[in-house]
Amino acid sequence: MALAAGWTSLRWWSWTAFVLGTMIFVLPLLGMAEFSLSMRRGVYSFDAYVSVLGDPAFRRTFLYSVMMAGLTIVFGVLIVVPTAYWVRLRMPRLRPVIEFITMLPLVIPAIVVVFGYIRLYNTSSWLPLTGSDLGTNILLMFGYTILALPYLYRAVDTGMRAIDIATLTEAAQSLGAGWLTIFGRLILPNVLVAVLSGAFVTLAIVMGEFTMAALLNRPAFGPYLQLVGVNKAYEPAALAVIAFAITWACMGLIQLVTRLQKHTRAAR
Protein backbone atom coordinates (compact mmCIF):
# COMPACT_ATOMS: atom_id res chain seq x y z
CA MET A 1 0.00 0.00 0.00
CA ALA A 2 2.78 2.40 0.92
CA LEU A 3 4.64 1.50 -2.26
CA ALA A 4 1.56 2.18 -4.39
CA ALA A 5 1.00 5.51 -2.64
CA GLY A 6 4.63 6.48 -3.20
CA TRP A 7 4.40 5.53 -6.89
CA THR A 8 1.21 7.59 -7.29
CA SER A 9 2.86 10.57 -5.61
CA LEU A 10 5.90 10.26 -7.86
CA ARG A 11 3.71 10.19 -10.98
CA TRP A 12 1.80 13.23 -9.75
CA TRP A 13 4.99 15.20 -9.22
CA SER A 14 6.33 14.06 -12.59
CA TRP A 15 3.23 15.25 -14.42
CA THR A 16 3.28 18.52 -12.46
CA ALA A 17 6.90 19.15 -13.47
CA PHE A 18 6.07 18.25 -17.08
CA VAL A 19 3.11 20.63 -17.21
CA LEU A 20 5.05 23.47 -15.59
CA GLY A 21 7.98 22.96 -17.94
CA THR A 22 5.65 22.91 -20.93
CA MET A 23 3.98 26.13 -19.80
CA ILE A 24 7.33 27.86 -19.31
CA PHE A 25 8.36 26.82 -22.81
CA VAL A 26 5.09 27.19 -24.71
CA LEU A 27 3.46 30.29 -23.21
CA PRO A 28 6.28 32.71 -24.23
CA LEU A 29 6.14 31.29 -27.76
CA LEU A 30 2.38 31.77 -27.92
CA GLY A 31 2.76 35.31 -26.62
CA MET A 32 5.42 36.07 -29.21
CA ALA A 33 3.31 34.59 -32.01
CA GLU A 34 0.26 36.54 -30.86
CA PHE A 35 2.25 39.76 -30.78
CA SER A 36 3.58 39.14 -34.30
CA LEU A 37 -0.03 38.96 -35.53
CA SER A 38 -1.07 42.23 -33.83
CA MET A 39 0.48 44.74 -36.20
CA ARG A 40 -2.99 45.83 -37.32
CA ARG A 41 -4.80 47.23 -34.30
CA GLY A 42 -7.76 45.18 -33.11
CA VAL A 43 -7.37 42.51 -35.79
CA TYR A 44 -5.03 39.56 -36.17
CA SER A 45 -3.17 39.74 -39.46
CA PHE A 46 0.00 38.60 -41.18
CA ASP A 47 1.10 42.15 -41.97
CA ALA A 48 4.37 41.76 -40.06
CA TYR A 49 5.19 38.57 -41.97
CA VAL A 50 4.31 40.18 -45.30
CA SER A 51 6.52 43.13 -44.41
CA VAL A 52 9.43 40.87 -43.46
CA LEU A 53 9.16 38.48 -46.40
CA GLY A 54 8.78 41.36 -48.81
CA ASP A 55 11.92 43.08 -47.59
CA PRO A 56 14.76 42.63 -50.13
CA ALA A 57 17.27 42.77 -47.27
CA PHE A 58 15.57 39.76 -45.65
CA ARG A 59 15.87 37.65 -48.78
CA ARG A 60 19.44 38.79 -49.42
CA THR A 61 20.70 38.14 -45.89
CA PHE A 62 18.74 34.92 -45.47
CA LEU A 63 20.08 33.42 -48.68
CA TYR A 64 23.60 34.55 -47.82
CA SER A 65 23.46 32.86 -44.41
CA VAL A 66 21.98 29.68 -45.90
CA MET A 67 24.82 29.61 -48.43
CA MET A 68 27.41 30.15 -45.69
CA ALA A 69 25.75 27.46 -43.56
CA GLY A 70 26.00 24.98 -46.44
CA LEU A 71 29.67 25.76 -46.99
CA THR A 72 30.37 25.56 -43.25
CA ILE A 73 28.63 22.19 -42.99
CA VAL A 74 30.59 20.74 -45.91
CA PHE A 75 33.89 22.12 -44.61
CA GLY A 76 33.17 20.98 -41.05
CA VAL A 77 32.17 17.47 -42.11
CA LEU A 78 35.31 17.10 -44.22
CA ILE A 79 37.39 18.00 -41.16
CA VAL A 80 35.48 16.37 -38.31
CA VAL A 81 34.41 13.01 -39.72
CA PRO A 82 37.89 11.85 -40.87
CA THR A 83 39.43 13.18 -37.65
CA ALA A 84 36.93 11.40 -35.39
CA TYR A 85 37.29 8.22 -37.45
CA TRP A 86 41.09 8.20 -37.40
CA VAL A 87 41.34 9.09 -33.71
CA ARG A 88 38.91 6.31 -32.75
CA LEU A 89 40.60 3.79 -35.06
CA ARG A 90 44.33 4.49 -34.70
CA MET A 91 44.93 7.05 -31.95
CA PRO A 92 42.51 6.42 -29.05
CA ARG A 93 44.97 7.94 -26.58
CA LEU A 94 44.56 11.32 -28.26
CA ARG A 95 40.80 11.39 -27.73
CA PRO A 96 41.02 13.50 -24.53
CA VAL A 97 43.26 16.00 -26.34
CA ILE A 98 40.94 16.22 -29.35
CA GLU A 99 37.89 16.56 -27.10
CA PHE A 100 39.61 19.35 -25.17
CA ILE A 101 40.46 21.20 -28.39
CA THR A 102 36.90 20.88 -29.69
CA MET A 103 35.57 22.30 -26.41
CA LEU A 104 37.67 25.46 -26.63
CA PRO A 105 35.13 27.40 -28.77
CA LEU A 106 32.71 27.17 -25.83
CA VAL A 107 35.07 29.13 -23.57
CA ILE A 108 36.74 31.45 -26.11
CA PRO A 109 34.35 34.26 -27.08
CA ALA A 110 33.57 34.71 -30.76
CA ILE A 111 34.72 38.33 -30.57
CA VAL A 112 38.22 37.14 -29.61
CA VAL A 113 38.35 34.83 -32.62
CA VAL A 114 37.15 37.45 -35.07
CA PHE A 115 39.53 40.11 -33.75
CA GLY A 116 42.35 37.61 -34.21
CA TYR A 117 41.23 37.11 -37.80
CA ILE A 118 41.14 40.85 -38.43
CA ARG A 119 44.56 41.29 -36.87
CA LEU A 120 46.21 38.45 -38.80
CA TYR A 121 44.48 38.76 -42.17
CA ASN A 122 43.92 42.49 -42.67
CA THR A 123 44.99 44.30 -45.82
CA SER A 124 48.46 45.05 -44.42
CA SER A 125 49.25 41.48 -43.34
CA TRP A 126 51.05 38.69 -45.17
CA LEU A 127 47.70 37.19 -46.28
CA PRO A 128 45.20 40.03 -46.86
CA LEU A 129 41.99 38.00 -46.88
CA THR A 130 39.86 40.88 -45.61
CA GLY A 131 40.77 42.88 -48.70
CA SER A 132 38.21 41.02 -50.84
CA ASP A 133 34.69 39.67 -50.44
CA LEU A 134 35.84 36.14 -51.23
CA GLY A 135 38.59 36.23 -48.63
CA THR A 136 36.27 37.67 -45.99
CA ASN A 137 33.67 35.01 -46.74
CA ILE A 138 36.34 32.35 -46.28
CA LEU A 139 37.30 33.84 -42.92
CA LEU A 140 33.66 33.89 -41.87
CA MET A 141 33.27 30.24 -42.90
CA PHE A 142 36.32 29.36 -40.78
CA GLY A 143 34.81 31.24 -37.85
CA TYR A 144 31.46 29.49 -38.20
CA THR A 145 33.23 26.13 -38.35
CA ILE A 146 35.01 26.91 -35.09
CA LEU A 147 31.74 27.88 -33.39
CA ALA A 148 30.02 24.69 -34.56
CA LEU A 149 32.98 22.41 -33.83
CA PRO A 150 31.93 21.30 -30.30
CA TYR A 151 28.46 20.24 -31.45
CA LEU A 152 29.48 18.72 -34.77
CA TYR A 153 32.34 16.70 -33.28
CA ARG A 154 30.21 15.44 -30.38
CA ALA A 155 27.45 14.34 -32.75
CA VAL A 156 29.84 12.52 -35.09
CA ASP A 157 31.82 10.92 -32.25
CA THR A 158 28.61 9.67 -30.64
CA GLY A 159 27.50 8.20 -33.96
CA MET A 160 30.80 6.37 -34.35
CA ARG A 161 30.47 4.85 -30.90
CA ALA A 162 27.39 3.00 -32.12
CA ILE A 163 29.30 1.08 -34.79
CA ASP A 164 32.32 -1.22 -34.66
CA ILE A 165 34.74 0.85 -36.73
CA ALA A 166 37.70 -1.49 -36.36
CA THR A 167 35.79 -4.56 -37.54
CA LEU A 168 34.17 -2.73 -40.46
CA THR A 169 37.52 -1.33 -41.57
CA GLU A 170 39.30 -4.70 -41.35
CA ALA A 171 36.49 -6.39 -43.27
CA ALA A 172 36.59 -3.77 -46.01
CA GLN A 173 40.37 -3.94 -46.27
CA SER A 174 40.24 -7.74 -46.53
CA LEU A 175 38.00 -7.28 -49.57
CA GLY A 176 40.49 -4.91 -51.17
CA ALA A 177 38.78 -1.59 -50.42
CA GLY A 178 40.90 1.54 -50.22
CA TRP A 179 40.67 4.26 -47.62
CA LEU A 180 38.45 6.51 -49.75
CA THR A 181 36.06 3.65 -50.39
CA ILE A 182 35.99 2.71 -46.71
CA PHE A 183 35.33 6.24 -45.66
CA GLY A 184 32.85 7.22 -48.38
CA ARG A 185 30.84 4.01 -48.76
CA LEU A 186 31.10 2.41 -45.33
CA ILE A 187 31.82 4.84 -42.50
CA LEU A 188 29.98 7.95 -43.67
CA PRO A 189 26.65 6.18 -44.45
CA ASN A 190 26.68 4.58 -41.00
CA VAL A 191 27.07 7.92 -39.23
CA LEU A 192 24.78 9.84 -41.59
CA VAL A 193 22.17 10.59 -38.92
CA ALA A 194 24.85 11.88 -36.54
CA VAL A 195 26.31 14.04 -39.30
CA LEU A 196 22.87 15.45 -40.11
CA SER A 197 22.26 16.21 -36.44
CA GLY A 198 25.48 18.18 -36.27
CA ALA A 199 24.69 19.81 -39.61
CA PHE A 200 21.32 21.10 -38.41
CA VAL A 201 22.88 22.48 -35.24
CA THR A 202 25.47 24.18 -37.43
CA LEU A 203 22.68 25.67 -39.53
CA ALA A 204 21.02 27.09 -36.42
CA ILE A 205 24.31 28.58 -35.21
CA VAL A 206 25.07 30.22 -38.55
CA MET A 207 21.58 31.66 -38.96
CA GLY A 208 21.66 33.37 -35.58
CA GLU A 209 25.33 34.37 -35.26
CA PHE A 210 25.90 38.12 -35.00
CA THR A 211 29.38 38.99 -33.74
CA MET A 212 31.58 37.57 -36.49
CA ALA A 213 29.33 38.63 -39.35
CA ALA A 214 28.97 42.16 -38.00
CA LEU A 215 32.67 42.73 -37.35
CA LEU A 216 33.62 41.27 -40.73
CA ASN A 217 30.93 43.44 -42.34
CA ARG A 218 29.13 40.56 -44.04
CA PRO A 219 25.45 40.75 -45.15
CA ALA A 220 24.36 37.89 -42.89
CA PHE A 221 21.03 37.12 -41.27
CA GLY A 222 22.21 37.71 -37.70
CA PRO A 223 23.07 41.41 -38.16
CA TYR A 224 19.80 41.84 -40.09
CA LEU A 225 17.86 40.46 -37.11
CA GLN A 226 19.59 42.92 -34.82
CA LEU A 227 18.92 45.83 -37.16
CA VAL A 228 15.23 44.98 -37.47
CA GLY A 229 14.95 44.53 -33.70
CA VAL A 230 16.30 48.03 -33.10
CA ASN A 231 14.19 49.86 -35.66
CA LYS A 232 10.85 47.98 -35.71
CA ALA A 233 8.37 46.46 -33.27
CA TYR A 234 6.32 43.64 -34.77
CA GLU A 235 8.69 42.41 -37.46
CA PRO A 236 11.28 41.04 -34.96
CA ALA A 237 8.60 38.82 -33.43
CA ALA A 238 7.66 37.58 -36.90
CA LEU A 239 11.32 36.84 -37.64
CA ALA A 240 11.63 34.95 -34.35
CA VAL A 241 8.60 32.82 -35.24
CA ILE A 242 10.06 32.09 -38.67
CA ALA A 243 13.42 31.13 -37.15
CA PHE A 244 11.64 28.90 -34.62
CA ALA A 245 9.71 27.19 -37.42
CA ILE A 246 12.95 26.55 -39.32
CA THR A 247 14.50 25.00 -36.20
CA TRP A 248 11.56 22.66 -35.68
CA ALA A 249 11.59 21.75 -39.37
CA CYS A 250 15.24 20.75 -39.00
CA MET A 251 14.40 18.62 -35.96
CA GLY A 252 11.61 16.95 -37.92
CA LEU A 253 14.01 16.19 -40.75
CA ILE A 254 16.42 14.56 -38.28
CA GLN A 255 13.62 12.30 -37.02
CA LEU A 256 12.56 11.50 -40.58
CA VAL A 257 16.07 10.55 -41.65
CA THR A 258 16.49 8.43 -38.51
CA ARG A 259 13.31 6.49 -39.21
CA LEU A 260 14.18 6.00 -42.87
CA GLN A 261 17.59 4.69 -41.92
CA LYS A 262 16.05 2.26 -39.41
CA HIS A 263 13.58 0.99 -42.03
CA THR A 264 16.41 0.57 -44.54
CA ARG A 265 18.51 -1.43 -42.08
CA ALA A 266 15.48 -3.57 -41.14
CA ALA A 267 14.79 -4.28 -44.83
CA ARG A 268 18.34 -5.49 -45.28
Whichever domain contains 131, its CATH number is 1.10.3720.10
Inside any domain, residue 182: yes
Report percent pLDDT > 90 for the chain.
16
Inside any domain, residue 227: yes
pLDDT tens digits along 102-113: 999 988 888 899
Inside any domain, residue 27: no
Inside any domain, residue 88: yes
The overall average pLDDT reported for the chain is: 84
Q: How far is it, in rounded angstroms, from Cα 135 to Cα 128?
A: 8
Inside any domain, residue 262: yes
Inside any domain, residue 35: no
For the chain, helix, strand, coil in percent to 5 are 85, 0, 15
Q: How far is it, in rounded angstroms, from Cα 153 to Cα 79?
A: 9
Residue 213: closest CA among 103, 118, 124, 95:
118
* Burial of 36: CB neighbours in 10 Å, binned 0-12, 13-18, 19+: buried
What is the domain extent for residue 114? 56-267
Inside any domain, residue 208: yes
pLDDT tens digits along 201-217: 888 889 888 899 999 98
* Burial of 96: CB neighbours in 10 Å, binned 0-12, 13-18, 19+: exposed
What's the total number of domains in the chain?
A: 1
Inside any domain, residue 140: yes
Instruction: Check residues 132 and 258 and name the one with the higher pLDDT.
Output: 132
